[in-house]
Amino acid sequence: MKISGWIGLLGFGFWLMSARAQPADRVTMDTVQDSLAKLGYAIYNEPSEPERLKANFAFVKTLVSALKMPNSYQFGFDSLKMISILRSPDDRFRIFSWHVPLNDGSYLYYGTIQLHTPDGRLKMYPLLDKTYEIESPETVVTTAANWYGAQYYRVVPFGAEYILLGWKGHTAQMTQKVIEVLTLTEEGVKLGKRIFEVDGTQAQTRMIYRYSQNARMYMDYDDRENRIVLDHLAPADVREEGQYEHYGPDMTYDAWQLRNGTWVLTPNVRIMNPATPGDDQYNDPQKPAKHPKSGLSAP
């Protein structure tokens, strides 16, 4: 299928509606949310890939029309359990992110960043997934229009910037998790920053962890220690070194710790009773039993 064509159409859809919005009210927003819930159900449960993409296109347009209503930032969309909606700790913005499963086991990602504006008018930055067009994603800084798509489950304050932790189903054999820096400027959005020190060299703009689609990786922020704790990944057999579709947790943990403005990896750290990662609720097309039955209840 022509992935780039769908992405272009959806990107256009984010900006299509420029007419002045009517004042938002609870009844109107609840009605729109009900429509979004039905479309969200179709995105994950329609057996036909074209129908899932069609439902997603309608979802994008409907969400944008809702966000264009004045003071829409205050509406929580709490019933939309099939997508991730995260507010920054300082309430400066919220970020919507979700994925569409494809028949070949890969995924498309969609999202937008909505700023909290003083007058309630909409200001947002649509996120356009260009995963397969980004060369060396670990070493480049991207923009909202050039996004290494992910479904985010944690926003961590980092000075005037933010650390994003994301889940990224990638192929039928391999899943990824992503750590990257979000910077909001007058010009727009930057994603990635060269502050991850690997083997004594500050070289990477984002960290990407690749592992078996059948495995589950813990990665979350530890508030008490001000660090990002994660499972250490390794192949089950040393002969599979570098074959990430065979990687999984090896029962040890590593941590990214902040030192003089740089995140430094510390191996083999001790942690106590890590919480269940929030991204466990995300919908894997290979595990249909976990799909939400509707947008009105948690999976």
The amino acid present at 61, given as its one-letter code, is: K
Domain count, the chain: 1
Asked if 183 and 189 count as a contact pair (C-beta separation under 8 A), the reply is: yes
Q: What is the pLDDT of residues 149-180, one digit of tens each?
A: 999 999 999 999 999 999 999 999 999 999 99
Residue 215: pLDDT over 90: yes
In this prediction, residues 63-81 reach a mean pLDDT of: 95
Could you tell me which residue, 20 or 190, shows the higher pLDDT? 190
Could you tell me which residue, 6 or 265, shows the higher pLDDT? 265
At 198, the pLDDT band (50, 70, 90 cuts) reads confident
Q: CA 249, CA 267: separation in Å to the nearest integer?
A: 13
pLDDT for the residue numbered 275:
54
Work out the mean pLDDT of the chain and round it to a whole number: 87
In this prediction, residues 203-222 reach a mean pLDDT of: 96
Residue 54 lies in a domain: yes
Residue 293 lies in a domain: no
- Within 10 Å of residue 197's Cβ, how many Cβ atoms? 16
Asked if 59 and 112 count as a contact pair (C-beta separation under 8 A), the reply is: no
Residue 88 lies in a domain: yes
pLDDT for the residue numbered 6:
46
pLDDT for the residue numbered 200:
75
At 229, the pLDDT band (50, 70, 90 cuts) reads very high
Q: What are phi and psi of 264, to 5 degrees?
A: -115, 135
Q: What is the pLDDT of residues 1-13, one digit of tens each?
A: 444 444 444 444 4
Residue 295 lies in a domain: no
Residue 253 lies in a domain: yes
Asked if 113 and 127 count as a contact pair (C-beta separation under 8 A), the reply is: yes
DSSP code, position 260 = T
DSSP code, position 157 = E
pLDDT for the residue numbered 23:
43
pLDDT for the residue numbered 7:
46
Q: What is the pLDDT of residues 83-122, one digit of tens each?
A: 999 999 999 999 999 999 999 999 999 999 999 999 999 9
At 251, the pLDDT band (50, 70, 90 cuts) reads very high
Question: What is the enclosing helix (H) or strand (E) of 3?
Answer: helix 3-16
Residue 242: pLDDT over 90: yes
Cα torsion 166, 180, 274, 283 to 10°: value is: 0
pLDDT for the residue numbered 273:
66
Instruction: Tell me the whole-structure pTM to 2 decimals.
Output: 0.85
Question: Is 196 strand, coil or helix?
Answer: strand
Residue 296 lies in a domain: no
Question: What is the enclosing helix (H) or strand (E) of 153?
Answer: strand 151-158
Pairing of strands 174-185, 247-259: unpaired
- Sheet order of strands, 124-128 included: 84-87, 93-101, 107-115, 124-128
In this prediction, residues 262-276 reach a mean pLDDT of: 83
Residue 282 lies in a domain: no
Residue 27 lies in a domain: yes
Structural domain that includes position 242: 3-274
pLDDT for the residue numbered 199:
77
